[in-house]
Amino acid sequence: MANVDQWTRNKKIWHYILLILLSALIIGPFIIGLWTSLLPTADISSGNLLHSSISLNNYWEAFTQTPIIRYLFNSLLISFLTMLCQVFFCSMAAYAFVFIEFKHRNFYFYLVLSTMMLPFEAEVIPNFQTIKSLGLLNSYAGMIVPFMTSAFGIFMLRQAFMQMPYELKEAADVEGLNHWQFYVKAVLPYSRLSLYTLAAYSFLSAWNQYLWPMLTTFSDDFRPVQVGLRELQSQETFNNWGMIQASAAIIVIPTLIVLYFGQHYFKSGLNEGAVK
Amino acid sequence: MAENNRVIDPSGSAVKAARGGLDFQQLSVKKNDKGYAWLFLGPSLLLLIVFIFYPMLKTLYLSLFLTNGNGQNTVFVGLQNYMTLLTSATYFASLFATLIYVLAVSLLTIILGLLLASTASKNVRGSSFFRTIFSSTMGVSISVSAIFWLFIFNPSIGVFTQLAAFLHLPILNWSTDPNLAMLSVIISTVWMNLGFAFLILFSAFQSLPQSLYEETAIEGASPSYRFFHVTLPLISPTLFFVSIITLIESFKSFGLIDLMTAGGPNNATNLLVYHIYQNAFLNGNYSQASAESVILTIVIAVLTFIQFKYLEKKVSY
């Protein structure tokens, strides 16, 4: 009996060692980044990472000498509006596929689904020309309009809407609700969780957009953080590491907080595709 | 209003009919429904057509022409752009580099993701704390990841260089050696991917039936036997899903390349999408970039199709 205890205890210790090692691997880059963001750039450049004085100077500099607040505001606005549009348009399309009978419904559904196979990255040239000819280069609209809907969102919400008890639709028909009323009063509230999931997912993917805003924005007035950081980096890399790291920290901390609270929705949303 | 004419159907046949399709009541509202169908589906359909279908056709079209710097077609050349690409050494180098990158990223993501998920799924005190840490890289965007790792890999002041100097190991030229530049991009991508892979694989581990484990434990199966013969087959659908998603995403990698290496040194990290960007927006060679886009689309369409087919079958052993 004592042997078994000893054995399980040893196993537990090894298990904790493994957990700590893996955690170090994951949070190592965070810690190095956050730590250097607190050091004076002169010390970073001379390799003096341990015996230095820490301060929040770099953060102060990043906030006052770079347009990072503007970048953050742009990102927040773009991501928020993209999210709202996605939730609205995807849920409407999904509603049509579940609750409205119309000609060639399956055809349209597969048409929408097939767009998941066509990567946006391969279509930037004509899209750039479209946005240019609409006069939307270097504007919020240029970064939002192409992403106002998504096949993934439509597909995910369709799965969710199909779980609704059909009796609800019957009752609504008896009450004489039209499609719009049923959509607003029953479908949206009933599928709240899936809508939150899509919201979290679309917000995050808009926030992480890189290629498109890089191609279509030319001024700090509209640049989101991802591209803004590139701007800062290309201007400052070789002389101001402390401030660059501080800017990275300013961007990553809010997303980590959002992730921490939104974890559940991400998980269920991602699993929507994985485990059916 | 046509809907008002509906009556309660005690036999429930309306339910069946509505699900199956035909129903006289449905027919009576069809005309009205058509308007609603366009109202609800129209916006999404329009957006998808303008920003996905039309550009795809346009790309295909552009790839058959020679285009000038303004993106105007000049001469129809058929498949010549494709021939030029497929006989170009730089394009082959780009394809090869992409293949190395994609395979390395996917394999490492899967293996490390499995390690993280299986370690975190054991019930020990504090395991939820470790789970939060393991999923934390999901909150890291491309530019932040690039900055963290650029500092770590920096050849003069970076952490790796300092560590090597401290340990009296040879100092590596992370940014000038083509192999090391590729390695640094792979490491940053895998690190960034891990949060996502962990979260999904962890959920798969959570849904494994405990009774099966107790059974195999009683039969005296070793942990490694259990892992390879019980766990892996059971989570194989999820494993497959994560692999395909990772493959697709790494074929589309752009941001990290742009920020960390800009395709260099000596084109060593000039992956497919970066090559398209270079050709189109830096060299103004729209026609060749379009041909490259079509090739990229085919690769990704095939992978996505495999994913759909597989998910449709809901494979489990």
Q: Complex ipTM, two decimals?
A: 0.86
B236 touches chain A (CB under 8 A): no
Share of chain B above pLDDT 90, in %: 35
CB B278 within 8 A of CB B263: yes
Is there a contact between B258 and A214 if contact means CB atoms under 8 Å apart?
yes
CB B71 within 8 A of CB A125: yes
A24 touches chain B (CB under 8 A): no
Is there a contact between B36 and A26 if contact means CB atoms under 8 Å apart?
no
Q: How far is CA A123 from the centre of its chain?
A: 21
Q: What's the mean per-residue pLDDT of chain B? A: 82
B191 touches chain A (CB under 8 A): yes
- pLDDT at residue A2 in the model: 57
CB A26 within 8 A of CB B196: no
Chain B residues with beta carbon closer than 8 angstroms to that of A89: 43-44, 47
Please provide the size of chain A in residues: 276
Scanning A100-185, the segments in alpha helix (DSSP H) are 105-114, 124-133, 140-144, 151-162, 166-175, 179-182
Distance from CA of A65 to the nearest CA of B (A): 19
CB B175 within 8 A of CB B181: yes
pLDDT digits (tens, 9 = 90+) for B58-86: 999 989 988 776 666 677 888 888 988 88
Q: Which of residues 242-271 of B touch A (CB under 8 A)?
A: 242, 248, 251-252, 254-255, 258-259
- pLDDT at residue B177 in the model: 86
Q: What does B146-185 look like in DSSP terms, one character per residue?
A: HHHHHHHH-TTT-HHHHHHHHTTPPPP-TTTSHHHHHHHH
Tell me the C-alpha distance between A224 and A186, whole Å.
36
- Written as one letter, the residue type at B143 is S
Taking each helix axis as running N to C, give the angle between helix B142-153 and helix A241-274, from 0 to 180 degrees, rounded to the nearest 10: 130
Tell me the C-alpha distance between A153 and A194, whole Å.
10
Distance from CA of B180 to the nearest CA of A (A): 18
Share of chain B above pLDDT 70, in %: 86
A168 touches chain B (CB under 8 A): no
A27 touches chain B (CB under 8 A): yes
Q: How does DSSP classify residue B65?
A: E
Query: Which of B122, B273, B300 has its CB closest to that of A117?
Result: B300
- pLDDT at residue B27 in the model: 42
Mean pLDDT of B188-198: 93
Cα–Cα distances (Å) from B5 to A99, A175, B26, B29, in that order, read: 18, 11, 11, 10
pLDDT digits (tens, 9 = 90+) for A150-183: 999 999 999 899 988 888 888 888 888 889 999 9
Distance from CA of A7 to the nearest CA of B (A): 14
Query: What are the residue boundaries of the structural domains of chain B, listed by start?
Result: 2-47, 83-314
Q: Which of A60-64, B132-136, B166-170 has the lowest mean pLDDT?
A: B166-170
Q: Which of residues 185-224 of A touch B (CB under 8 A)?
A: 207-208, 210-211, 214-215
Omega before B265 cis (within 30°)? Answer: yes
- pLDDT at residue B145 in the model: 93
SS (HEC) of B267-305? CCCCCHHHHHHHHHHHCCCHHHHHHHHHHHHHHHHHHHH
The CATH homologous superfamily for domain B83-314 is: MetI-like (1.10.3720.10)
Among A117, A164, A251, A264, pick the best mutation site for testing chain B contact (most B Cβ within 10 A).
A117
Is there a contact between A26 and B191 if contact means CB atoms under 8 Å apart?
yes
Instruction: Enumerate long-range contacts of A71-77, CB under 8 Å, 24 or more apart.
Output: A71/A220, A71/A223, A71/A224, A71/A225, A71/A228, A71/A229, A72/A225, A72/A250, A72/A251, A74/A140, A74/A221, A74/A222, A74/A223, A74/A224, A74/A225, A74/A228, A75/A207, A75/A224, A75/A225, A75/A226, A77/A140
- pLDDT at residue B6 in the model: 36
Q: Write out the two tokens for A36.
A: 């250097």
Share of chain A above pLDDT 90, in %: 48
The count of C-alpha atoms lying within 13 angstroms of the C-alpha of A211, restricted to the half-sphere facing its C-beta, is: 23
Tell me the C-alpha distance between A89 and A24, whole Å.
42
Is there a contact between A15 and B259 if contact means CB atoms under 8 Å apart?
no
Q: Please give the residue that has the higher pLDDT: either A264 or B195.
A: B195
Query: Which of A101, A112, A176 has its CB closest to that of B26?
Result: A101
Instruction: Report phi then psi at A11, rounded to 5.
Output: -60, -40
Distance from CA of B296 to the nearest CA of A (A): 7
Is the per-residue pLDDT at B317 higher than 50? no
B135 touches chain A (CB under 8 A): yes
- pLDDT at residue B89 in the model: 87
- pLDDT at residue B31 in the model: 59
Is the per-residue pLDDT at B29 higher than 60? no
- pLDDT at residue A265 in the model: 64
Distance from CA of A119 to the nearest CA of B (A): 6
Confidence tier at B294 by pLDDT (50, 70, 90): very high
Whose tokens are 């960034």? That residue is B192
Chain A residues with beta carbon closer than 8 angstroms to that of B200: 270-271, 274
Is there a contact between A229 and B147 if contact means CB atoms under 8 Å apart?
yes
Distance from CA of B216 to the nearest CA of A (A): 18
- pLDDT at residue B95 in the model: 93
Confidence tier at B236 by pLDDT (50, 70, 90): confident
Mean pLDDT of B116-128: 83
Which stretches of chain A drop beneath a pLDDT of 70? 1-4, 51-52, 236-239, 263-276
